[in-house]
């Protein structure tokens, strides 16, 4: 059975053709590498952070691994998160102690191994009551049924934060929490609601650029596999390649049918172990592979991004994390010069696009008013919105906010010794592949999750772990300066190659210490800044086109840079970026125009942004 169509962004363009090559889209090397050697020990389906994390881990163990993602990397839930790398203090009241402990440990690790993108985040909880929620919280451990939870009072929050500190004790990466009375709290954050009784402040972390962190993890994996003598290396990955079904024309054992979403070309691929890391789509993916499952029960969450200097100043550089009047935990926090507001938690309909609705926007305005009543927020302040579906386990009448955030791995396929049970992925006369389906998994725990999933895969393959990723720097986090002074020194040192301080800083922020490779590339030829933005140059776009698997113009705007997130996409920028990419990706003029329209449509439909066209 072929997978039902659900292509969050790709559906907009509709440019795939069965004929084998859509006009203006030359064959990509990432796809050729899969087609030319259409087998691997492991095939990972899904290029969100969990699939990509597992790809890196397996590549480091010397496993022959391939990964396919039907859209762009980090386009699903991984690109729609609240950007928090957190222990999940809230999960304590769900009784998820294992998850909180693992999350805190992983948060501390990511601050060390990915310091270029994961930064400490000071967080303040405004508290309006002293004892509320104490009686309801313990019963919530047991029931988690529908109904409005009682407000969480100061006592309960203090208890939670003390447990949180306890779990953090070994890392020493973040300071302990602090509790302030009303007066002191309002001195620190004077725009907070005057009705608060206390404010608790503690540290978590945030990931500033999840899309680029995903790419770094992926490239670490590719690099680990590049030394192999296998054609294409032992770690191959391609975006815009979907797993569509099992009906392999070649009839190979354990084979699935893959489709290049940019050209429509289909080809068969065979693996001994298939990792289904397709997040909220896990059941649909299993269905397409002929093995029905009912693991998932995703919930949708949305965010808005505001250009609102008054609100930005009111946050004082902190995340404001609090309970809204409906009992949901929500957040307001500065991301650079913008303010992120989120999030909702509603049952998802996988047949619909995940978008931020008008009702959700009203909810966000209401929650800002709950803690900052003197600050007015209007629709004109919104520069970007986004939504995604959390890959949560199926939950019956448990409230969405209380569904377990922990993960598990479901195995199907032959027992190590023998025959495949009916309904498993088995091509005619062949050996069945083992399918490992990932159910759940937060951003925060991706490294640990990848290690668990890899261990399961290694067991299936009869191989041993060679490398631990626990202390291994990720991509441009290697040798990243660990202080503001260190950053300034790094910038000064690299200005020697003819770049001004702003440019070096911009590149270090975007790529971490991988900026050295980018600068070497920029310096090797004639370059100029784009007319439409100071943040990009022609050669940097060329670098992305050559090294970062750009499938669509919109990938650059949303996932290789944060220009869309910050509301900085203009008609002129669209034209200019499309023009440079066209030269390097072989797009003809019709394809270039189609890409501009596609970017406009994706921004309008999924992010509430209207960008007017200019005549090219």
Ligand X SMILES: Cc1cc2nc3c(=O)[nH]c(=O)nc-3n(C[C@H](O)[C@H](O)[C@H](O)COP(=O)(O)OP(=O)(O)OC[C@H]3O[C@@H](n4cnc5c(N)ncnc54)[C@H](O)[C@@H]3O)c2cc1C
User: Where does this chain bind ligand X (CB under 6 A)?
Assistant: 3, 45-51, 68-71, 75-78, 80-84, 242-243, 277-281, 285, 301, 343, 388-391, 441-444
Minimum CB distance to ligand X, residue 403 (Å): 12
The tokens describing 550, both together, are 């750009």
- Closer of 76 and 115 to ligand X (Cβ): 76
Q: Mutual orientation of helices 446-461 and 97-113 as an angle, nearest 10°? A: 100
Minimum CB distance to ligand X, residue 572 (Å): 30
Minimum CB distance to ligand X, residue 84 (Å): 3
- Closer of 44 and 157 to ligand X (Cβ): 44
Minimum CB distance to ligand X, residue 452 (Å): 13
Distance of alpha carbon 160 from alpha carbon 111, whole angstroms: 22
Minimum CB distance to ligand X, residue 476 (Å): 20
- Closer of 61 and 276 to ligand X (Cβ): 276
Minimum CB distance to ligand X, residue 184 (Å): 28
Q: Which of 506, 548, 541 is nearest to 527 (CA)?
A: 541
DSSP string across 183-251: HHHHHHSTTS-TT--EEEEEEEEEES-HHHHHHHHHHHHHHHHHTSSSTT-SEEEESSEEEEES--TT-
Per the CB < 8 A criterion, the answer to whether 276 and 283 are in contact is no
Give the three-state DSSP class for 164: helix
Per the CB < 8 A criterion, the answer to whether 251 and 427 are in contact is yes
Residue 346's beta-bridge partner residues? Answer: 300
Distance of alpha carbon 108 from alpha carbon 407, whole angstroms: 20
Minimum CB distance to ligand X, residue 301 (Å): 2
The tokens describing 438, both together, are 């990932």
Minimum CB distance to ligand X, residue 75 (Å): 5
Distance of alpha carbon 470 from alpha carbon 114, whole angstroms: 11
User: Which positions ≥6 away from 499 have C-beta within 8 Å?
Assistant: 507, 519, 522
Minimum CB distance to ligand X, residue 278 (Å): 4
Nearest position to ligand X, beta carbon: 48
Distance of alpha carbon 251 from alpha carbon 246, whole angstroms: 9
User: Which positions ≥6 away from 326 have C-beta within 8 Å?
Assistant: 148
Minimum CB distance to ligand X, residue 300 (Å): 7
- How large is the C-alpha radius of gyration of the chain? 24
User: Which positions ≥6 away from 141 have C-beta within 8 Å?
Assistant: 93, 94, 95
Helix (H) or strand (E) holding 306: strand 299-306
Per the CB < 8 A criterion, the answer to whether 58 and 457 are in contact is yes
The tokens describing 511, both together, are 């790529």
Q: DSSP letter at 473?
A: P
Distance of alpha carbon 50 from alpha carbon 75, whole angstroms: 12
Distance of alpha carbon 494 from alpha carbon 516, whole angstroms: 8
- Closer of 350 and 478 to ligand X (Cβ): 350
Peptide bond just before 343 cis, omega within 30 deg = yes
The tokens describing 304, both together, are 């808005």
User: Which positions ≥6 away from 500 have C-beta within 8 Å?
Assistant: none
Minimum CB distance to ligand X, residue 448 (Å): 12
- Closer of 259 and 308 to ligand X (Cβ): 259
Per the CB < 8 A criterion, the answer to whether 49 and 74 are in contact is yes
- Closer of 333 and 365 to ligand X (Cβ): 333
- Closer of 50 and 168 to ligand X (Cβ): 50
In degrees and rounded to multiples of 5, residue 433 shows phi and psi of -85, 150
Minimum CB distance to ligand X, residue 520 (Å): 31
**What pairing do the DSSP bridges indicate for beta strands 235-238 and 178-181?**
unpaired
Minimum CB distance to ligand X, residue 463 (Å): 23
Cβ atoms within 10 Å of 187's Cβ, excluding its own: 9
- Closer of 51 and 153 to ligand X (Cβ): 51
- Closer of 450 and 545 to ligand X (Cβ): 450
Minimum CB distance to ligand X, residue 15 (Å): 17
Per the CB < 8 A criterion, the answer to whether 584 and 545 are in contact is yes
- Closer of 360 and 535 to ligand X (Cβ): 360
Q: Which of 289, 286, 270, 227 is nearest to 34 (CA)?
A: 270
Distance of alpha carbon 218 from alpha carbon 47, whole angstroms: 9
Minimum CB distance to ligand X, residue 542 (Å): 26
- Closer of 273 and 277 to ligand X (Cβ): 277
């Amino acid at each position: 059975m072929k997978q039902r169509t659900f292509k969050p962004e790709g559906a907009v363009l509709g440019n795939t053709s069965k004929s084998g090559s859509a006009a203006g889209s030359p064959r990509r090397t990432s796809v050729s590498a899969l087609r030319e050697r259409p087998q691997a020990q492991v095939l990972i389906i899904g290029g969100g952070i969990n699939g990509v994390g597992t790809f890196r881990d397996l590549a480091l163990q010397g496993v022959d691994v391939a990964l396919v993602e039907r859209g762009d990397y980090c386009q699903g839930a991984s690109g729609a998160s609240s950007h928090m790398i957190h222990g999940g203090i809230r999960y304590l009241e769900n009784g998820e102690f294992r998850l909180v402990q693992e999350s805190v440990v992983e948060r501390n690790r990511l601050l060390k191994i990915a310091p270029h993108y994961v930064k400490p985040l000071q967080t303040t909880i405004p508290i309006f009551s002293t004892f509320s929620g104490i009686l309801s919280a313990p019963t919530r451990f047991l029931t988690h049924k529908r109904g409005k939870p009682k407000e969480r009072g100061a006592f309960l929050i203090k208890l939670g934060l003390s447990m949180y500190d306890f779990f953090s004790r070994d890392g020493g990466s973040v300071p302990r929490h602090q509790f302030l009375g009303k007066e002191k709290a309002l001195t620190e954050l004077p725009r907070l609601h005057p009705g608060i009784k206390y404010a608790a402040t503690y540290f978590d972390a945030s990931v500033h650029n999840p899309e680029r962190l995903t790419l770094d993890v992926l490239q670490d994996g590719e690099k680990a596999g590049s030394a192999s003598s296998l054609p294409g290396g032992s770690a191959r990955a391609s975006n815009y390649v979907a797993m569509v079904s099992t009906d392999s024309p070649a009839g190979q054992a354990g084979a699935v049918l893959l489709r290049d979403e940019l050209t429509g070309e289909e080809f068969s691929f065979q693996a001994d172990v298939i990792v289904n890391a397709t997040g909220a789509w896990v059941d649909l993916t299993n269905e397409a592979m002929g093995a029905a499952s009912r693991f998932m029960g995703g919930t949708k969450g949305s965010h808005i991004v505001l250009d609102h200097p008054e609100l930005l100043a009111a946050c004082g550089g902190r995340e404001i994390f609090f309970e809204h009047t409906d009992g949901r935990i929500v957040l307001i926090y500065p991301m650079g010069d913008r303010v992120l507001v989120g999030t909702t938690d509603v049952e998802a309909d996988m047949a619909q696009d995940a978008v931020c609705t008008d009702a959700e926007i009203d909810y966000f305005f209401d929650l800002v008013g709950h803690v900052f009543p003197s600050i007015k927020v209007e629709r004109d302040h919104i520069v970007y919105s986004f939504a995604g579906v959390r890959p949560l386990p199926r939950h019956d009448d448990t409230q969405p906010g209380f569904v377990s955030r922990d993960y598990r791995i479901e195995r199907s396929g032959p027992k190590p010794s023998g025959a495949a049970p009916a309904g498993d992925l088995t091509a005619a006369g062949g050996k069945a592949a083992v399918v490992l389906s990932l159910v759940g998994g937060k951003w925060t725990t991706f490294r640990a999750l990848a290690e668990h999933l890899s261990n399961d895969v290694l067991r299936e393959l009869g191989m041993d772990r060679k490398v631990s990723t626990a202390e291994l720097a990720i991509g441009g986090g290697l040798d990243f300066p660990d202080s503001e002074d260190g950053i300034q020194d790094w910038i000064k040192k690299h200005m020697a190659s003819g770049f001004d301080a702003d440019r070096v800083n911009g590149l270090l922020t975007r790529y971490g210490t991988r900026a050295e490779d980018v600068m070497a590339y920029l310096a090797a030829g004639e370059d100029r800044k784009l007319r439409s933005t100071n943040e990009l140059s022609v050669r940097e776009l060329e670098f992305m086109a050559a090294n970062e698997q750009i499938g669509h113009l919109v990938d650059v705007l949303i996932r290789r840079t944060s220009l869309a997130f910050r509301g900085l996409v203009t008609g002129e920028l669209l034209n200019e970026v499309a023009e440079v990419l066209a030269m390097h990706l072989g797009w003809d003029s019709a394809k270039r125009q189609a890409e501009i329209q596609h970017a406009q449509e994706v921004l309008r439909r999924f992010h509430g942004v209207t960008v007017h066209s200019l005549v090219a």
